[in-house]
Amino acid sequence: MFPLLLLAAAKPEPTVTLEAHFEPFANLVYQLDMVSGYLPYARSEAISKIWKDRIANQPGDEKFLTQWQATMRRLEAKGQVAFNPKLIYSIATIQNEGERVREIGLNSTSIADFAKQVARQIEPTAAKELSEVLARFNPNFTQWWTQEAAPKGSTFRVKAAELFKSEKITKAIGNLVHFYQPQLPSGQVVPVHFMYKPKASEPSHGEQVGSSALMEITEGESPANRIDVTLHELSHFFFRKAGVDVHIKLATKFQKVPDPSGMAVFSIMNEALATALNNGMVAESLMEGPAFNQYRAAPLSWYYNTSIDGTAKASYDWLKAYVQRGGTMTDPQFASAYVKAIRTGMGPKIDAPAVQMFGVNYIWSEAWPRELVFLPQQLLQSSVSARFSDTKLENALREAVTSSPMLSTLLIIRPDELTRITKVEPLIAKHAAQLQANVNKTGTSLMGARRKSGLALYVIVASDSIGVERELKRLAALENDLAGVLP
């Protein structure tokens, strides 16, 4: 008699469905985040004009907008997860209070419903402050919504709901679930909230907020032309839900890739994967061949960031084949094959400073003006970053290397700090004479070097913010690696 072999059944992957929403209250909360300045990256001139003309047009209204921003920033600081030195990304399995409030706002139906839900999450004073602001602007907003937004955006929601159930989209979602391997319950429903804004030349915005998604739409748009953006944001949700343990294992694998830009690719991977899988693969499934080829060839057509657009397109053919044969992000060979695909597609452009500094430590002394904090991020289009400043620059450098050792480094110093910093950073000491010579000649200097890990170190020496901006622009324009002092 043969022994009975018991084979463990493979754990079924979770099913995920999208649910289309176009609700006035969610739009009110989102627009308050925008016009109050709480979400500067989602700023809209078109929405700001509507608020100025029709919604926040009474004396004292500005005070309420300021109150909204201040309260949300206070909540955002609560529940933050400390930066994990084993990771590039500060992956938070627990949302900060600001993000929880945003998600509640998206899924509430009224001020009373919102107040009831946030009362369980935040301190009473903050809940009262937010409710006061909502009550202030709700009447004017409702009037505008009823007259303009609702008639122009409702059809989009109906068509989107139909598209979400289509075979192509359900298959695409299934592919994403398999690739990312997110830890989710079966039957996960992801609400997708559409945010109306008038036709404008400005870019539209989308993002994932907790387990909900939001996407800006304009009159006359087709959901088929926006589904790639919706699934792009869903991919970020799946990436996050893969779990911290998976991210740590991935980071370790990318560290071991025999390519100096392995960790730079890990920095940009979250965005590059979401772009290739959705703005690429999903878009291709909905377009005719020649149209897709033209779309792919156009600069910045998949993502309005040179590094993300470039790495996504460089990896596309390999990634498409990899996904089609059932590959996952957690496969042992993924990291090395993914870096190789990008290296093959981009060539030396993968080593360009803009790619290397997508994830970067910014280090500067506290003597610099506050506005300098965001200048590197604006000019280099960096996303994942840690910022360090100190009255003693040496302390900031040590803290950066210790607390976030998987990021490249951008060090901004004054000429009188150069001698001091060479004592703690041998890579700078090696080029100190040439750096000083350039400063004596032009007032500024710029250098690049690689650590043994492959991570880049860039140094700008300048006397003022104008000099820093000039050198940042030179750095951002480089298409290849910077080794040594730039003439």
- Specify the higher pLDDT residue, 192 or 288: 192
State the Cα–Cα distance between residues 9 and 11, nearest whole angstrom: 6
State the Cα–Cα distance between residues 213 and 21, nearest whole angstrom: 10
Is residue 31 predicted with pLDDT exceeding 60?
Answer: yes
pLDDT number for residue 92 = 45
Residue from 244, 240, 243, 265 nearest 255 by CA: 265
Could you tell me the pLDDT band of residue 289, with boundaries at 50, 70 and 90?
A: confident
Could you tell me the pLDDT band of residue 3, with boundaries at 50, 70 and 90?
A: very low
Task: State percent of the chain over pLDDT 70.
Answer: 93
Unique residue bearing structure tokens 């001020």: 111
Q: For 361-390, what is the mean pLDDT? A: 77
pLDDT number for residue 129 = 98
Lowest mean pLDDT among 42-46, 171-175, 470-474: 42-46
State the Cα–Cα distance between residues 28 and 134, nearest whole angstrom: 8
pLDDT number for residue 1 = 40
pLDDT number for residue 81 = 55
- Note the CATH number of domain 354-486: 3.30.379
Instruction: Please classify residue 487 by burial: count the beta carbons closer than 10 Å to its beta carbon, then call 0-12 exposed, 13-18 middle and 19+ buried.
Output: exposed
Q: For 218-232, what is the mean pLDDT? A: 92
Could you tell me the pLDDT band of residue 87, with boundaries at 50, 70 and 90?
A: low
Residue from 250, 245, 252, 267 nearest 331 by CA: 250
- Specify the higher pLDDT residue, 278 or 361: 278
pLDDT number for residue 4 = 46
Contact 194, 21 (CB under 8 A): yes
Task: Please count the residues of the chain.
Answer: 487
pLDDT number for residue 261 = 95
pLDDT number for residue 29 = 98
Three-class SS string for the chain?
CCCCCCCCCCCCCCCEEEEEECCHHHHHHHHHHHHCCCCHHHCCHHHHHHHHHHHCCCCCHHHHHHHHHHHHHHHHCCCCCCCCCCCCCCCCCCCCHHHHHHHHHHHCCCHHHHHHHHCCCCCHHHHHHHHHHHHHHHHHHHHHHHHHHHHHHHHHHHHHHHHHCCHHHHHHHHHHHHHHCCCCCCCEEEEEEEEECCCCCCCCCEEEECCEEEEEECCCCCHHHCHHHHHHHHHHHHHHHCCHHHHHHHHHHHHHCCCCCHHHHHHHHHHHHHHHHHHHHHHHHHCCHHHHHHHHHCCCCCCCCHHHHHHHHHHHHHHHHHHHCCCCCCCCCHHHHHHHHHHHHHHHHHHCHHHHCCEEEEEEECCCCHHHHCHHHHHHCCCEEEEEEECCHHHHHHHHHHHCCCCEEEEEECHHHHHHHHCCCHHHHHCHHHHHHHHHHHCEEEEEEECCCCCEEEEEEECCHHHHHHHHHHHHHCCCCCCEECC
- Specify the higher pLDDT residue, 457 or 3: 457
Domains in the chain: boundaries: 18-236, 243-351, 354-486
Choose from 222-231, 334-343, 368-377, 406-415 the range with maximum mean pLDDT.
334-343
State the Cα–Cα distance between residues 283 and 225, nearest whole angstrom: 8
State the Cα–Cα distance between residues 217 and 221, nearest whole angstrom: 7
**Cβ within 8 Å of residue 364, ≥6 positions away:** 372, 388, 389, 393, 396, 411, 412, 413
In tens, the pLDDT along 61-76 reads 999 999 999 999 999 8
**Cβ within 8 Å of residue 124, ≥6 positions away:** none
Is residue 8 predicted with pLDDT exceeding 50?
Answer: no
Q: For 423-431, what is the mean pLDDT? A: 92
Q: Interhelix angle for 167-180 vs 150-164, to 10°?
A: 70
Instruction: Please classify residue 223 by burial: count the beta carbons closer than 10 Å to its beta carbon, then call 0-12 exposed, 13-18 middle and 19+ buried.
Output: buried
Is residue 299 predicted with pLDDT exceeding 60?
Answer: yes
pLDDT number for residue 137 = 99
Phi/psi of residue 457, nearest 5 degrees = -125, 125
The pair of structure tokens assigned to 156 is 């989009």
pLDDT number for residue 397 = 83
Q: For 223-230, what is the mean pLDDT? A: 92
Contact 89, 270 (CB under 8 A): yes
pTM above 0.75, yes or no: yes
Is residue 387 predicted with pLDDT exceeding 80?
Answer: no
Residue from 67, 77, 5, 79 nearest 37 by CA: 67
Lowest mean pLDDT among 33-47, 75-89, 257-271, 430-444: 75-89
Instruction: Please classify residue 379 by burial: count the beta carbons closer than 10 Å to its beta carbon, then call 0-12 exposed, 13-18 middle and 19+ buried.
Output: middle
In tens, the pLDDT along 175-211 reads 999 999 999 998 999 999 999 999 877 878 889 999 9
Q: For 78-97, what is the mean pLDDT? A: 62
Could you tell me the pLDDT band of residue 288, with boundaries at 50, 70 and 90?
A: confident
Cα 260–Cα 262–Cα 263 angle in degrees, nearest 5: 105
